[in-house]
Structure 1
């Protein structure tokens, strides 16, 4: 049981959603998007619309199932326990990949101050150290996580709002042309950039995972989800337009920290360092929020006898400490495995695989909502938005790429023996 002292309020739930989305994505994605040019702004608009539709579905589900364990409950309701397990496993894997990419992004921005971190051995150590620091904060309990999330969310908005207001004043319209600087067709470029930018919206469902740790969850979870996504969409769109007007695609491509470089153009060299600090704080806040989800998901599976019971073990602050240690050990291993590649390539590969794993959850929830229409035509009005959402998600699947899908499917397949072993173990324990 979690009493009210161990629950977060609306403002913390809202900043969990905003903070998990506005992490390294907005600060690092311009490097990946610069290969396509300003046509990526169209990708932002499409992925934003998809995310708002998806948030509307999660808002409805959180009202129907308040206090439940979010993704597992929703997919189990539509497709049964086995499918729900596979989906939540994939979602958990996506978070592990995401936290690895966030730690790498922090290291990338830290090269502004410590150039030696470009060395792969040093960036492994530094990225791993970041994960350990966040683990320590997480062990303090949900209130500590919530406060850290709230303040880092406020801080991370400062450079983005600054870039938006000042960026439009110093904008160079020539940087927007040609619109597509890649060798891809315009249509293909839009598909790819939609997929890449959708990564920045991963986490829109964050408030639904620790649902039972939110005060008045029926109201606060649904409101924080939809308001958080709409707010984040406008921040993303406006700041990206401003950035593409301040730096050419070539300048962004060569930068390890494009927003810091843009700040340097507006306010001088010192601003470059200041914005780099904000970007680091932003990503730290995101790792903090995602770590909460990272330990809650296996805990929820353990409650349903689908994961080892060690993930249920909590410390005095009601935090699954064993699950935290195990999952963050995996995150550090992911960082080590990727050490041979440069930072921007690692980031791009991790986010595409992470996006695929999370997309399976979104895809099945949208499909489940469509199936409800066939069950009862009265559901058509309340569930209609799931139809265009389903089509949009197929669009994003196309842009992920074969390699990332193959890796994602391989990661999903690892869960199958775990599921059947846990079912066998649970059955034998009862007998």
Structure 2
């Protein structure tokens, strides 16, 4: 969306602080928003939110997914990590400027106006509830190792629905419980992950690594191809920024939590994948359905690794669903307070936008049921890739907002060293976001554009009602 230098942009109305009552809220709502159930996050919980949302269930499958490309995939990990940390730094800078709940939505609207803000909110909302459905279905596969549920389609479907509604109930209970669940699940899932990531280094055998480039293509092509599989794993770097209104001392802690959480997740990814590569023979790893289980078995013998890793994966994805459920409601909440989403999304109880949580879990549940009824994994995989594309829309808009602020800064008041540093970081973040679009693939981009176009119609209806006073 081009923005001319002469056309004035509408100044966003300053929404009330997170402690202020939501317009139209009841007295009970206002009491609950500031009560003991609406406790705000500190740096540890905000960092856990970022790490927990980045590290979902994908890490338990990643080594086998990229093994066919060889150890060149570790180079792709490194490149992606640089881009993700650059994006994290951009979110930290933007949060210093505007530490309100909503993250990319707030940044895009403040810089470019209502339409850009709506696109950021709409696309991010799509990303969250489609991702929730994907995580729940994937979690059923790990649950099946512990309790057989995949024998019948509807049993598996009910299990997936339960895995979505339990985190939703934690969210309905208030941000105090959301933070507690997120912190506990993040700590618990790191025990087995660190066991492999760190312990595996003591059992590392270079002879098991296989070829550096097993594809026969150019190294650049191999890096790009393996990166396409890894891109989805870095979604979530914006988690603390989206929930900035619930973070204590947000101007300082959002940026720190985002960078620390992203760097920590990247370290676990890299060490975990390297350890699995060095403990499981390459020809076996390519065919593995549970690479971390195979790594534990190779390290200590026996077959108990499958149970341990399945339990860790289940805890990991439940915690991830808990965090994503909160995020799925925060952006529509911020947009609704500005009149860019239906007003119902602005209702909040115990610090949580309950309508947003409810609508999101219902949509994710319907998508889950559709997945099981259709019996087509390919349709669902395309929808998962759509989230990679839809997430890049708010990423690009937020990065563009940072470019806008850097370009609009008064030259006489600018710290030139900081300006140069921020410009380089922002350029890397922009390139990373565009690479995410390319990695999603043509089909996913096509489907994602259709979702965005549907949002334009919704925006037209809401804008028309605002102008007409309805």
TM-score for both structures, normalised by structure 1 = 0.92
Query: How far apart are 1:392 and its partner, in Å?
Result: 3.2
> Which residue is 1:240 aligned to?
273
> Which residue is 1:157 aligned to?
190
Is 1:266 the counterpart of 2:299 in the alignment? yes
Bigger radius of gyration:
2
> Which residue is 2:424 aligned to?
384
In 1: Cα distance, 2:358 partner to 2:277 partner: 40
In 2: Cα distance, 1:149 partner to 1:341 partner: 32
The question of whether the paired residues in 1 share the 8 Å contact of 2:108 and 2:398 is answered with yes
Query: How far apart are 1:381 and its partner, in Å?
Result: 4.0
The question of whether the paired residues in 1 share the 8 Å contact of 2:90 and 2:429 is answered with no
Q: Structure 1 residues 19, 70: closer, same or farther in 2, change over 3 A?
A: same
Query: How far apart are 1:272 and its partner, in Å?
Result: 2.2
Q: Superposition RMSD on alpha carbons, in Å?
A: 2.3
- Give the one of 112, 115, 134 matched to 1:101: 134
In 1: Cα distance, 2:380 partner to 2:63 partner: 12
Is 1:417 the counterpart of 2:457 in the alignment? yes
> Which residue is 2:54 aligned to?
21
In 2: Cα distance, 1:8 partner to 1:392 partner: 29
Q: Structure 1 residues 312, 214: closer, same or farther in 2, change over 3 A?
A: same
The question of whether the paired residues in 2 share the 8 Å contact of 1:104 and 1:347 is answered with no
> Which residue is 2:13 aligned to?
none
Q: Structure 1 residues 374, 214: closer, same or farther in 2, change over 3 A?
A: closer
Query: How far apart are 1:118 and its partner, in Å?
Result: 5.9
In 2: Cα distance, 1:174 partner to 1:269 partner: 23
In 1: Cα distance, 2:379 partner to 2:86 partner: 30
Stretch moving more, 404-413 or 368-377 = 368-377
After TM superposition, the structure 1 = structure 2 runs for residues 149-298 of structure 1, keeping only pairs within 5 Å, are 149-182=182-215, 185-267=218-300, 268-298=302-332
Q: Structure 1 residues 180, 384: closer, same or farther in 2, change over 3 A?
A: closer
Q: Give structure 1 stretches of 5+ with no counterpart.
A: none
Is 1:327 the counterpart of 2:360 in the alignment? yes
In 1: Cα distance, 2:120 partner to 2:328 partner: 14
- Give the one of 352, 366, 381 matched to 2:399: 366
Query: How far apart are 1:160 and its partner, in Å?
Result: 1.2
> Which residue is 1:401 aligned to?
441
Q: Secondary structure at the match of 2:339?
A: coil
In 2: Cα distance, 1:262 partner to 1:54 partner: 32
The question of whether the paired residues in 2 share the 8 Å contact of 1:88 and 1:361 is answered with yes
Q: Secondary structure at the match of 1:338?
A: helix
TM-score for both structures, normalised by structure 2 = 0.85
> Which residue is 1:47 aligned to?
80
Is 1:36 the counterpart of 2:69 in the alignment? yes
Q: Structure 1 residues 31, 90: closer, same or farther in 2, change over 3 A?
A: farther
The question of whether the paired residues in 2 share the 8 Å contact of 1:27 and 1:279 is answered with yes
Q: Deviations over 1:279-335 (max 9, x none)?
A: 1101110100010001111111111111112222334x2422232221111112222
The question of whether the paired residues in 2 share the 8 Å contact of 1:14 and 1:224 is answered with yes
Q: Give structure 2 stretches of 5+ with no counterpart.
A: 1-18, 20-32
Is 1:356 the counterpart of 2:396 in the alignment? no
Work out the number of aligned pairs and report it.
428
Q: Deviations over 1:360-395 (max 9, x none)?
A: 222222233334444356444433311232223333
